[in-house]
Amino acid sequence: MMLHTVRCATALGVVVLLSGCGAGLESLPLSAPSGNGGSYSVTAVFTNALNLPAEAKVKLDGVDIGVVDAISAKDFTARVTMSIRDDVPLSTGSTAELRSATPLGDLFVAIHTDPQQTGSAARLRGGDTIPLASTSAGATVEELLSSAAVLVNGGVVRNVTTLLNGAGKAVGGRGDNVATLLHESSALITRLNARSAQIKTALDNTSDLTTTLSQRQNTLDQALAAAAPAMTTIAENRDQIADLTDSVARITRQLQRFPSVQGTDTRSLISDLNHLSAAFNDVSVDPNLSLTALNRILPLIMKLTAGTNIAGAGEVTQLAWGSLPDMNYPGDPQFHGPDGTDYHAMIGSLRYEWNLLLDKIYGPNR
């Protein structure tokens, strides 16, 4: 019972003390960061320092390195004096920015060092100032709320809704097709990624080819220069070349009419030429060959064909007709008048030609 009475009295005293002072949360000071060593003073000039509380934290890359000592106004700018720990050296190219951890949270001073400066750069000393050109003021609560109002009421959300509705109308119920397109695109990208090594090899080979062509540019130029007269000649004789091509085409069409030009058929043009060439070869190498009879006939042929007309005179002293000899001239068994055997030979020749014609029409397996 005694302990309960003490607790109630203590709570009542705290309530009376706070009520008598009339203090709120905004009047409670922030806890200053603790430091084990000394500090040096640096002043940063901002366009405004609204919402920056007293004893606000000073951070470098998210680490507390000091605290705000005082805020004053001079020449329509806000001058923020900060205490920086001695063990944190700052270069002369450092910048300061007012930032907050949350949209409506308390501001703090963020220090950024110049990444281009080396370790031997000059350091900030006590009493140095970061100029206005190297600082940036944070957005005020009013600016943040105004931007949010513009975002909501300025048509941005409505435009996004219209865009989404338009995309839905463009799809027109064909969402499955769009999904298929996305799936195929993903498959294509996956295949390209799987063959990235081959693509890289092809690009490397193309690069090597380009390099080789670049190195041999003079050779290519010389070849083109040498080919220029030939190209000019071809251009000047293009009509004759076209006529020659047409003639070759006509000859080719005529050759196609033969049964075979390659000599694969026993009755082909090439086969007949081969047989004729073989016969001429046999005649030329025959040791018993004599051109005496031909030489005797040539003068007579030349005499008969000496003018524009063929004229000749002859005298027949002996004539044997048939295979039977007469009293003045022995019979020639190779020459005789027509008899029954000739009719049989003629009919056989006609039958042979008829069979060849049927083979051409119906084929040999008719």
Pick from 69-78, 182-191, 315-324, 339-348: least confident = 315-324
Structural tokens at position 130: 């970061």
Residue 267 pLDDT level (bands cut at 50, 70, 90)? low
What is the pTM (predicted TM-score) of this model?
0.35
Domain boundary assignment for the chain: 33-143, 216-276, 336-366
Residue percentage of the chain with pLDDT more than 90: 16
Q: According to the model, what pLDDT value does residue 145 have?
A: 73
Do 68 and 56 contact (CB within 8 A), yes or no?
Answer: yes
What mean pLDDT comes out for the span 39-45?
A: 92
Q: For 44-48, 78-82, 271-275, which range has the lowest pLDDT when averaged over its residues?
A: 271-275
Q: How far apart are CA 28 and CA 34, in angstroms?
A: 18
**What is the band of 340 on the pLDDT scale with cuts at 50, 70, 90?**
low
Question: CA-CA-CA-CA torsion for 188, 194, 197, 203, nearest 10 degrees?
Answer: 0
Predicted local confidence at residue 113, as pLDDT: 86
Across 197-267, the runs of DSSP E, i.e. the strands, are: none
259 has a pLDDT exceeding 70: no
C-alpha torsion sign, points 260, 264, 266, 269? positive
